[in-house]
Amino acid sequence: MAAACAPLAGDLRSQLLASVDALLFDCDGVLWRGESAIPGAAQLVNRLQECGKLVFFLTNNSTKSRELYVEKLQRLGFRAHCQQIYATAPCAALYLRREIQLCGSVYVIGGAALRGELQAQGIVCSGPGPEVTPGTLQVWATEPLDLTVAAVLVGFDEQFTYLKLCRASRYLRDPACFFLATNTDTLLPLEGGGIPGTGCLVKSVEAASKRTAYVIGKPNDFMFKCIVNEHGIDPSRTVMIGDRLDTDILMGSNCGLRTILTLTGVSTLEEVKAHQESDSPERHKLVPTYYVNSVADLLPGLE
């Protein structure tokens, strides 16, 4: 039997908030949509911090540095500083430097922010090399590779090309070459229905290399582990708040946290119900502990 996914209302709000020291917020669909803050979200986040709660921002988006996130949060009225930001670009850099202590450079499929975060950790980015190598496919199949490359990292890359796919797959033929992805979301939500997410690029590199990437982002627990290491938070006194069952809520479940689904983003209560009614224990992990219509609904719990 899966958890109940209770509406977080009435006294339950203050009880829950009293029982947590740390709140982990997904950003897009939870605190804002595009360039508009969710009404009341900034008041909640600021009030939580005034009450002494630890607040962290967790995002799978790999196109922004910590600094750019702080800038956006502040622009939308949220009190925030760099140490609260856990995004896949800086966390990928941390993983390469601290966890696997990479010796060598990284072949990056991704944008300027991802490269910047790697460089900030002292990691050298290879290439990308000339984007159009003259000659035939046979030239692409045999062009010299950068012998210093010891990892391939795939993030969001609007300049993704077949040639980058080709190069990544050739580096990954060496089983000693690490294979990392920032995240596996297949949709980047935007007005107009969104565009393909990083996960679509990861799929093509996985197919070409017949390997599976280690994924930094949610639902994996790496970003949460970073927060525990750096801030010493207690999982039993932490709650994860997100709009996606398959990333935010699943990460919370994977890390043993209580979870809150907010209905201002991607997932719906109908999806929750389908997971609850399923016989699969794996799907039960996608059921949040609580839900709210908007994170602003938590505000009265602080009064």
| Residues in touch with a second copy (CB under 8 A) | 137-138, 140-142, 157-163, 165-166, 169-170, 173, 186-188, 190-197, 199-201, 203-208, 210
Residue from 11, 28, 157, 246 carrying the catalytic annotation: 28
Instruction: Tell me the closest approach of the beta carbon of residue 61 to a second copy, in angstroms.
Output: 12
65 or 238: CB nearest a second copy = 65
Q: Which is nearer to a second copy, 191 or 279 (CB)?
A: 191
User: Beta strand pairing status for 54-59 and 32-33?
Assistant: unpaired
Q: How far apart are CA 300 and CA 168, in angstroms?
A: 51
Q: Which of 11, 21, 26, 157 is catalytic?
A: 26
- CB nearer to a second copy: give 158 or 234: 158
Q: 83, 95, 36, 84: which is closest to 57 by C-alpha?
A: 84
Count CB-CB contacts under 10 A for residue 16.
Answer: 18
> How far apart, in Å, do the first and last CA atoms of the chain sit?
34
Least spacing, CB of residue 124 vs a second copy, in Å? 25
- Residues 287 and 261: their CA atoms lie apart, in Å, by 9
Decide if 28 is catalytic: yes
The answer to whether 26 is a known catalytic residue is yes
Instruction: Give the nearest distance from C-beta 168 to a second copy in angstroms.
Output: 9
In the complex, minimum distance from the CB of residue 119 to a second copy, in angstroms, rounded to a whole number: 23
Residue 186 neighbours by CB distance under 10 Å? 14
Rounded CA gap, 59 and 217, in Å? 8
When the beta carbons of 55 and 166 are compared against a second copy, the nearer one is 166
How far is residue 110's CA from residue 106's CA, in Å, rounded to a whole number? 11
Q: What is the DSSP letter of 299?
A: G
Active-site residue list: 26, 28
